[in-house]
Structure 1
Amino acid sequence: MSKSLEEVNQSVATEGKKTGFRKILAFLGPAYLISVGYMDPGNWATDIAGGSQFGYALLWVLLMSNIMALLLQSLSARLGIVTQRDLAQASRETYSPFINYILYFLAEIAIAACDLAEVLGMAIGLNLLFDISLIQGVMITVLDTFLLLFLINKGIRKMEAFIIALVMIIGVSFIIEMIFAQPEISKVFTGLIPSLPNENALYIAIGIIGATVMPHNLYLHSSLVQTRKFDRSNKGIKQALKYNFIDSTIALNLAFFVNAAILILGAAVFYQNGMFTVAEIQDAHKFLEPLLGTKWAPILFAVALIAAGQSSTITGTLAGQIVMEGYLNLRIQPWVRRIITRLIAIVPAVIVISIYGESITGKMLILSQVILSLQLGFAIIPLIHFVSDKTKMKGFHISKTTQIASWIIAVIIVSLNAKLVYNEIQGWLETSENPIVLWFTVVPLAFGFLLLLFYIIFKPFIINAKHQINAHLPHNFELNFFKVETYNKKNIAISVDFSDADKIAINSAFELGGKEANYTLIHVVETVGAMLYGGNIDDHETTIDEKLLFEYQELLTNNGFKVDVKLGFGKPNNAIPRIVKEGNFDILVMGTHGHTGFKDIIFGTTVDKLRHKISIPLFIVKN
């Protein structure tokens, strides 16, 4: 398997640092690239809307979101540090190709929504500062991709330094803005007490959560932590986990300060003056000077907006590369990937602005953040499952307490999203002139994604034997031999998949051949990587399957049987016949392997496709 962000993987040395401070400093950086995603222009739109409509009342949502973000980002970093896999790669190794394609599609939609917010934010900032039209500003943002390419070629540390400089510009700008605005401190603390003034506040609150806890950041963080090269011993991994948590705590609290400052600015300037409908960034910029009495307030606002858009667009396009390479195991030229990501955001932005005008941008920004929130469950739930897996995490799995806290966060987010989707669809059905179309399109699609969410939630709890390594290790394997006086099969192939069907298939083969025959155990690795790269693939599942196959061989050989093994790659109905044709077998023995139920309808059964491709007898043993 190719490494995540291969051009910078393990490019920063952390070993050999003489002092503890220098050691910590070597690890600091990845979370700052993550933090810019938590203060991107999409946050500005939701924060300004929240502050102008509800004053300080939604500050608690920002605080809750920041706590959620810190926990989830620490889980993402843990996954990358321990397994050396990013979230997309871990998903590809865990789920079927069909499920992975859907998850990839959803991740791409989330990144496109995020990039849309960044493109619009940059364009608005350029418009406010230099009076460039929004359409021209949107087109200029294409150049960001080349800046990213330049920075990453200079090394990840140079990129981190550039991002940190932009973050400092944003932070300093809002410290000055707070001095101008002079918010009421008592009301700021009151806003930290949970409350929802009305139904509209829920929509804004979900937008804030979507803008704060970002799905693409979970993919990105699990990759960026792999840029550090450190001692892979247990002690070294524990140290890396500790330092990365410190990195995340500092960076995300800085992001919380920026988001809170934007919302407080909206509350102190607009809500306090009875301007409850300010949701457009342009309007906020326009009113800052007359309300605060200084020309520097709108200038600093625009400068901070450009810095936020520029920094977050870099990390957004990196996340796009990670998602494509991780889910599809498809590596294309980085500059091509980044231009594709940018065009996916630019095209709808240009179309919508051209049709509806520049006044629509605020609504587009808030909608983009709600889309991000809707996708969160499909990134968070697999992440929690992965870091809870003792085998996958090699003993560095999260504690029960952390698991409970993580699932509470997942339930909160998924529940809010479910309510939002229900309310939106209900509103569409009530106002649509042709609701039948919605009943046959939007409603089934919503149910489909709900079923996918349930599948992702519950599959690891009822996972089949193939992926439960401890449950199907050969020491649990029982051999009950039957004495047969006459044997006529001397070279027998047996298809195995490390499930309960293996025991019956192998015992049935022994009935045919006894201890005089030669046996070959065949197993096929079915990952996406195996289908693309065949025997050249080197992923987690291949390693496990090969290990189990050799343990089968050792067990059976120790019991007096002559056993060889063959590992195939790709689809079983193609790989097994290929192995059978290359060998001189008398018969192929199979248990009831393959897909069942719904997957049979989609993929078809292995047996049906295989039996027409071999010229020897096929002995199917029912489990």
Structure 2
Amino acid sequence: MAKHKREAWREEQTTESLSEVNNSIKVPKNASFFRKLLAFMGPGALIAVGYVDPGNWATSIAGGSEFGYTLLSVILISNLMAILLQSLAAKLGIATGRDLAQASRDSFSKKTSFILWILAELAIIATDLAEVIGSAIALNLLFGLPLIVGVVITALDIFLVLLLQHRGFRYIEVIVITLMVTILVCFGVELFMSRPEIKEVLYGFIPQKEVVTNPTMLYIALGILGATVMPHNLYLHSSIVQTRQYERSLKGKKEAIKFAFIDSTFSLTVALFINAAILILAASAFYYSGHTEVAGIEDAYKLLNSVLGSGIASVIFAVALLASGQNSTLTGTLAGQIVMEGFLNIRLKPWIRRLITRILAIIPAVIVTALYGARGTNELLILSQVVLSMQLSFAVIPLVMFTSDKRKMGVFVNRLWLKALAWIVAVFIAILNIYLLIHTFV
């Protein structure tokens, strides 16, 4: 047994992932299916946050305003890829007791692990940057605060995170779910006001040939795909599924994997609705009214009232944006802690860890906002998504490698069809990101 373990992992496991909350949430034994499911629900909501953060808004708004409902099929495909990858991340965490960062440290050389850690940190900083800018734009739209003031104010959310962490992991999940419901309700109201054509919306979910043949449409489609699956979410999910008190036995792990899949699939379906709603709103409000060049969040905000004929439409839009930015802050904090502890086995106090990440995100946001204003922040928002795209394959490929290795996963190893599908997705994402980088910089 020990021999097989040494063959599977380069390093021995030394600590639990997120040890302060690991195995901390009770799961009722001999309870009904729905009571157990309720106990397992929560991590999926934290994951779904990354799929509706401010970084996704610009691509959906641009796609809807310029091409109508056509790119809804791209959002659907992106979501299916996300469900696959997140289910693999959850399975890795439950089956091995390691998060993705720990598994990488325990499998690769110290040099390789260090490089992967740097790349993961860059991704988290880029994610934090999108949250900072998104929240600052929302504060500017709602209260008229200068962008640079909004950027600085977002630094104060560190105190909210610390308060929630001290009160228990369930409190973080409840806050995240509440903010997700807020975003969902806001866009539900916006869709009702915009009155989209249902037949055309449904037709938009069917892939069209022109998505590939039209270079401009293809670029926006690739932007939507590239900004959907977030690398930090894979590290996060592989850790937070271990907060439940399931039996660390074969039977208990099988049950936990089943409930984790249901949880994440449900939450990502909600994220699909929100992302689709943003594009549908842009299409019905702007594309069909002749405003086909609405590419920025501020432009959409300014036009919504006049196009929809309601003074509250823009306010609802900005409230959803603020909820999105603040929601992403909570999950970004946890992901940063998981990555640092997992790769380096270094434990810092949460407020120190959070402060370091936030400062690294705020400095470029303050400089660009001061020099270039709203135009600069939009460009910085796009750049943050490019950085995320660059890092994604460095999280996806190890994840597929680990979950396809029987020595590591045992009976939970990916079946042949799942292994093939996972590698197809991993290669597709790699090719996609290379294309995006070439198109962006060349």
Report the counterpart of residue 307 of structure 1 in structure 2.
Answer: 323
Return the alpha-carbon distance in structure 1 between the equivalents of residues 71 and 258 of structure 2: 32
Report the counterpart of residue 375 of structure 2 in structure 1.
Answer: 359
**What is the Cα deviation at residue 345 of structure 1?**
1.0
Letter in 1 for 2:311: K
Report the counterpart of residue 608 of structure 1 in structure 2.
Answer: none
Q: Which of 205, 221, 230 pairs up with 2:237?
A: 221
Return the alpha-carbon distance in structure 2 between the equivalents of residues 199 and 335 of structure 1: 45
**What is the Cα deviation at residue 423 of structure 1?**
3.4
- Aligned residue for 1:229, secondary structure, equals coil
Report the counterpart of residue 110 of structure 1 in structure 2.
Answer: 123
**What is the Cα deviation at residue 201 of structure 1?**
2.5
Return the alpha-carbon distance in structure 2 between the equivalents of residues 289 and 246 of structure 1: 38
Q: Which of 207, 211, 220 pairs up with 2:223?
A: 207
**What is the Cα deviation at residue 359 of structure 1?**
2.2
| CA pair 202-104 structure 1, distance change in 2 beyond 3 A | farther
Return the alpha-carbon distance in structure 2 between the equivalents of residues 203 and 370 of structure 1: 13
- Aligned residue for 2:435, secondary structure, equals helix
* % identity of equivalent residues: 57
Contact 1:206 1:373 in 2 (8 A): no
**What is the Cα deviation at residue 16 of structure 1?**
2.7
Report the counterpart of residue 342 of structure 1 in structure 2.
Answer: 358
Deviations 1:304-325 (A, max 9, x none): 1111111111101211111111
**What is the Cα deviation at residue 367 of structure 1?**
2.5
- For structure 1, which segment, 192-201 or 367-376, has the greater mean C-alpha deviation from structure 2 after superposition? 192-201
- For structure 1, which segment, 57-66 or 187-196, has the greater mean C-alpha deviation from structure 2 after superposition? 187-196
Letter in 1 for 2:122: I
Higher strand share: 1
Report the counterpart of residue 137 of structure 1 in structure 2.
Answer: 150
Report the counterpart of residue 521 of structure 1 in structure 2.
Answer: none
**What is the Cα deviation at residue 373 of structure 1?**
1.9
Which structure has more relative contact order (CA 8 Å, sep 6+)? It is 2
Report the counterpart of residue 198 of structure 2 in structure 1.
Answer: 185
Q: Which of 379, 391, 394 pairs up with 2:410?
A: 394
Return the alpha-carbon distance in structure 2 between the equivalents of residues 110 and 414 of structure 1: 16
**What is the Cα deviation at residue 97 of structure 1?**
1.2
- Structure 1: any 5+ residue segments left out of the alignment? 428-623
Deviations 1:213-250 (A, max 9, x none): 11100000001001111112211111101101110111
- Aligned residue for 1:393, secondary structure, equals helix
**What is the Cα deviation at residue 366 of structure 1?**
2.4
Deviations 1:472-518 (A, max 9, x none): xxxxxxxxxxxxxxxxxxxxxxxxxxxxxxxxxxxxxxxxxxxxxxx
Letter in 1 for 2:107: T
Letter in 2 for 1:382: P
Report the counterpart of residue 478 of structure 1 in structure 2.
Answer: none
Does residue 287 of structure 1 match 2:293? Answer: no
Does residue 127 of structure 1 match 2:140? Answer: yes
Report the counterpart of residue 8 of structure 2 in structure 1.
Answer: none
Contact 2:246 2:252 in 1 (8 A): yes
Return the alpha-carbon distance in structure 2 between the equivalents of residues 87 and 124 of structure 1: 33
**What is the Cα deviation at residue 198 of structure 1?**
2.4
Contact 1:38 1:255 in 2 (8 A): yes
- Aligned residue for 2:407, secondary structure, equals coil
Report the counterpart of residue 426 of structure 2 in structure 1.
Answer: 410
Deviations 1:150-206 (A, max 9, x none): 111111111111110111100011110000111122221222222426223333222
Higher helix share: 2
Return the alpha-carbon distance in structure 1 between the equivalents of residues 312 and 30 of structure 2: 43
**1:557-572 alignment to 2 at 5 Å?**
none
Letter in 2 for 1:299: V
Report the counterpart of residue 49 of structure 1 in structure 2.
Answer: 62
Return the alpha-carbon distance in structure 1 between the equivalents of residues 18 and 187 of structure 2: 33
Return the alpha-carbon distance in structure 1 between the equivalents of residues 228 and 439 of structure 2: 22
Return the alpha-carbon distance in structure 2 between the equivalents of residues 230 and 411 of structure 1: 34
Return the alpha-carbon distance in structure 2 between the equivalents of residues 367 and 270 of structure 1: 25
Report the counterpart of residue 477 of structure 1 in structure 2.
Answer: none
Report the counterpart of residue 463 of structure 1 in structure 2.
Answer: none
**What is the Cα deviation at residue 422 of structure 1?**
3.1
- Aligned residue for 1:38, secondary structure, equals coil
Letter in 2 for 1:16: K
Deviations 1:532-556 (A, max 9, x none): xxxxxxxxxxxxxxxxxxxxxxxxx
| CA pair 211-418 structure 1, distance change in 2 beyond 3 A | closer
Does residue 146 of structure 1 match 2:162? Answer: no
**What is the Cα deviation at residue 210 of structure 1?**
2.7
Report the counterpart of residue 460 of structure 1 in structure 2.
Answer: none
Letter in 1 for 2:70: A
Contact 1:279 1:362 in 2 (8 A): no
Letter in 1 for 2:69: Y
Letter in 2 for 1:311: N
**1:545-564 alignment to 2 at 5 Å?**
none
Report the counterpart of residue 7 of structure 2 in structure 1.
Answer: none
Contact 2:223 2:436 in 1 (8 A): no
**In terms of Rg, which structure is larger?**
1
Return the alpha-carbon distance in structure 2 between the equivalents of residues 176 and 423 of structure 1: 36
**TM-score between the two structures when normalised by the length of structure 2:** 0.94
Deviations 1:411-443 (A, max 9, x none): 211111122233345x2xxxxxxxxxxxxxxxx
**1:360-509 alignment to 2 at 5 Å?**
360-425=376-441, 427=442
Return the alpha-carbon distance in structure 2 between the equivalents of residues 424 and 364 of structure 1: 13
Does residue 82 of structure 1 match 2:66? Answer: no
Letter in 2 for 1:378: F
Deviations 1:116-143 (A, max 9, x none): 1111111111111111111111111111
Report the counterpart of residue 10 of structure 2 in structure 1.
Answer: none
- For structure 1, which segment, 251-260 or 327-336, has the greater mean C-alpha deviation from structure 2 after superposition? 327-336
Q: Which of 41, 46, 53 pairs up with 1:40?
A: 53
- Aligned residue for 1:231, secondary structure, equals coil
Q: Which of 148, 160, 170 pairs up with 1:157?
A: 170
Report the counterpart of residue 65 of structure 1 in structure 2.
Answer: 78
**What is the Cα deviation at residue 17 of structure 1?**
5.5
Return the alpha-carbon distance in structure 1 between the equivalents of residues 116 and 251 of structure 2: 34
Return the alpha-carbon distance in structure 2 between the equivalents of residues 126 and 387 of structure 1: 42
Work out the number of aligned pairs and report it.
426
Letter in 2 for 1:66: N
Report the counterpart of residue 552 of structure 1 in structure 2.
Answer: none
**TM-score between the two structures when normalised by the length of structure 1:** 0.67
Letter in 2 for 1:330: I
Return the alpha-carbon distance in structure 1 between the equivalents of residues 90 and 149 of structure 2: 38
- Aligned residue for 1:392, secondary structure, equals helix
- 4+ aligned runs moved over 4 Å, structure 1: none
Contact 2:226 2:432 in 1 (8 A): no
Return the alpha-carbon distance in structure 1 between the equivalents of residues 134 and 183 of structure 2: 14
- Aligned residue for 1:221, secondary structure, equals helix
Return the alpha-carbon distance in structure 1 between the equivalents of residues 361 and 295 of structure 2: 21
- Aligned residue for 1:357, secondary structure, equals helix
- Aligned residue for 1:13, secondary structure, equals coil
Return the alpha-carbon distance in structure 2 between the equivalents of residues 321 and 150 of structure 1: 16
- Structure 2: any 5+ residue segments left out of the alignment? 1-13
